[in-house]
């Protein structure tokens, strides 16, 4: 029961951070929020007993792709407006 509640809470967090990633004006904040969605997804995979997938999601979704995007934001003119 407690675990089900936790899974539901995590799923709500995924949706909220996904919405934030779309609506936030600052590009850096939006990107961090999108990485957070991946991280919550990885946590939900662990709770659903799929640690192998969770590891790949945490490393690639939350780590690598977020960092590549952050780097791109920093290098282009979009990062200077803030």
Partner 1 sequence: MKRIRAAIVVLLFGAAFAGLAVGYSERTVPSALAMRYLQEVPAELGAANVVTGILITYRGFDTLGEVAVLFMVAASVGMLLSAGAGRRAVPAGASAPPARPPSELVVNGAEVVLPVAFLFGAYVIVNGHLSAGGGFQGGAVVASGVVLLVLARPSVALHHGFLSVTESLAGVFYVALGILGLIFAGGFLDSHILPRGEFGAFISAGAIPLISALLGIKVAAELSVIIDRFRS
Q: Binding-site residue total for partner 1 (CB under 8 A)?
A: 16
Q: Which is nearer to partner 1, 16 or 61 (CB)?
A: 61
Which CB, 10 or 73, lies closer to partner 1? 73
User: For partner 1, what does the binding mask look like between residues 40 and 69, x meaning CB under 8 A?
Assistant: -----------xx-xxx--xx--xx--xx-
What is d(CA 60, CA 80) in angstroms, rounded to the nearest whole number?
A: 27
Cα–Cα distance, 61 to 36 (Å, whole number): 9
Q: What is the 3-state secondary structure (H, E, C) of 17-77?
A: HHHHHHHCCCHHHHHHHHHHHHHHHHHHHHHCCCHHHHHHHHHHHHHHHHHHHHHHHHHCH
Among 19, 72, 78, 82, binds partner 1 (CB under 8 A): 72
Binding site for partner 1 (CB under 8 A): 51-52, 54-56, 59-60, 63-64, 67-68, 71-72, 74-75, 80
């Amino acid at each position: 029961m407690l675990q089900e509640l936790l899974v539901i809470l995590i799923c709500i967090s995924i949706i909220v951070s996904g919405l934030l990633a779309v609506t936030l004006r600052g590009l850096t904040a939006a990107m961090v929020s999108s990485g957070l969605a991946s991280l919550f997804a990885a946590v939900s995979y662990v709770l659903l007993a799929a640690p192998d997938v969770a590891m790949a999601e945490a490393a690639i979704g939350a780590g690598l792709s977020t960092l590549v995007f952050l780097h791109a934001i920093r290098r282009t003119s979009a990062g200077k407006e803030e």
